[in-house]
Amino acid sequence: MPEAEVLLRSDPVLVSVSRIVIDSEVWVAGGWIRDRLLGLHPAELDLAVPGDAGQAQPLAERLGEAFHATPHLLGRPPHSVWRLEGPELKVEIWPRGTLTVAEDCRRRDFTCNALQWRLPGGPLEDPTGGRADLKRRILRAVSRDNLRADPVRLLRAPRFIAQLPRFRIDPTTAGWIRELAGELAGAPPERIGQELLRMATAPFPARGLHLLGTLGLLPAIPPGTQRRRRSPLPILAASAHWLAAPRCPLPRWGVPAAQLQAARLGTFLAGWTDDGTRLETFAWPRDLREDAVRAVAWLPRALLAVDADPADRRELIARCGSSFPAALSLACATALATGRGLAPWRRWWRQWRRSGPHLVALSPLLRGDEVASILGRAPGPWLGELLEELQTAQIRREVRTRAGARRWLRRFPARFGMMPKSE
């Protein structure tokens, strides 16, 4: 690890911020220091300042002007925080009231985040031994009480293990998390959702997913009534690992990055939920949530139909809709985790590239009123079922034209107790 003081004094972002806040007491806190000392390149900068949010406002406005971002005050006193989101950097300014720097550090979640550096030239405050834990790559909680005070911190442990290379969790900390796991059920679901999303899209999501299981956190996560796990955790973790691995071929096939992200999130959803009800409380982006939920719902049928003929594949692709790339990615990863090969999934992807978008946007050959007129019957519940069967025949290319659809109607409506009018 580079000498901390030398690295922080020469950090280009911190040098830029120092020029703006030169007349203020400003400390860099937590994750920025941790990541820079690990050789990473963070995009989120936390600053700690004495006083309250009102006293921090002039600083927030100066930084906002410099970084072309409008400062927003979030939360209620005494926990208010100023947030600025620029195109390349997100900055948060945390007023610490009358607390000393050491006291502020000791109320943090993990020792590797309980580091503060005063701009521009130090010193580095480290009252909890965070530098030593960084060198040993150990994730250690500052205290059990700090975890209990904010149960979302329980989820940060697996999230940091998913984000930070070669880290392991301190055994005492792991024991505290297991004891407090039930506290997570009362935490704000939107904050739980953000931790899960960051975990699923981290460099090592399988490690985070594995810890969710071994630390007893999975049962407390689902919104609403807990549902039985659909897939074994080791398979899900292996799937998440493959989707994040550099050797994963899906980007080379052309699967969009957003759909791969949805597939990775799907490995988490498949661990504890059967559908997407109430997931909106997690405040995930709607498209990402819907793609992940459809991928999970499609998974069992896809694994059974992996060697299906082209007509069956067309039907499954159409039913999955625009979420198909995410669904295929999750199915492919799950298949590999259970010892199957890639070849069948390449066929699926080639078929999607050839005709998938057309299938998703396929227009019906006949309208409902036309079908009712042809059959000489008033519209009723039977009509929706018949239209769905006709659409399936169209997707499978058993029917290709309006004339073909009329002929199809003459063959199939007998089961509904009706016959087409003679022409």
301-355 pLDDT, tens per residue?
Answer: 888 888 888 899 999 999 999 999 999 999 999 999 989 889 999 999 999 999 9
Task: Give pTM, 2 decimals.
Answer: 0.86
pLDDT of residue 422: 52
Beta bridge partners of 83: 72, 92
Distance between CA atoms of residues 245 and 84, nearest Å: 33
pLDDT of residue 30: 86
User: Does the structure show a pLDDT above 90 at 126?
Assistant: yes
Residue whose tokens read 């009231």: 97
Average pLDDT over residues 230-253: 90
Structural domain spans, the chain: 4-136, 137-220, 222-362, 368-416
Angle in degrees, CA 208, 209, 211, rounded to 5:
65
Average pLDDT over residues 287-313: 91
pLDDT category at 226 given cuts 50, 70, 90 is: very low
pLDDT category at 101 given cuts 50, 70, 90 is: very high
User: Does the structure show a pLDDT above 70 at 286?
Assistant: yes
Q: pLDDT tens digit string along 186-204? A: 889 999 999 999 999 999 9
Domain 4-136 has CATH 3.30.750.24: no
Q: pLDDT tens digit string along 269-279? A: 887 655 555 78
| 362 Cα distance to chain centroid | 30
Beta bridge partners of 361: none
Say which CATH topology domain 137-220 has.
Hydrophobic Seed Protein (1.10.110)
Give how far Cα 270 sits from Cα of 206, 274, 299, 361, Å: 13, 7, 9, 28
DSSP class of residue 198 equals: H
Q: Which two tokens stand for residue 226?
A: 């807990």
pLDDT of residue 3: 82
User: Lowest mean pLDDT: which of 126-130, 222-226, 399-403?
Assistant: 222-226
Average pLDDT over residues 387-406: 93
User: Does the structure show a pLDDT above 70 at 210?
Assistant: yes
pLDDT of residue 409: 87
User: Does the structure show a pLDDT above 90 at 146?
Assistant: yes
Average pLDDT over residues 50-72: 93
Q: pLDDT tens digit string along 10-32? A: 999 999 999 998 888 999 998 99
User: Does the structure show a pLDDT above 50 at 225?
Assistant: no
User: Does the structure show a pLDDT above 50 at 164?
Assistant: yes
Q: Length of the chain in residues, anyone?
A: 423
Give how far Cα 398 sits from Cα of 62, 111, 301, 374, 394, Å: 66, 64, 22, 20, 6
pLDDT of residue 356: 92
Q: What percent of the chain has pLDDT over 70?
A: 93
pLDDT of residue 382: 86
First-to-last C-alpha distance (Å) of the chain: 85
Q: pLDDT tens digit string along 310-322? A: 899 999 999 999 9
Q: What percent of the chain has pLDDT over 90?
A: 73
Average pLDDT over residues 67-96: 90
User: Using N-to-C axis directions, what is the helix angle for 205-214 and 233-244, rounded to 10°?
Assistant: 160
Mean pLDDT, the chain, integer: 90
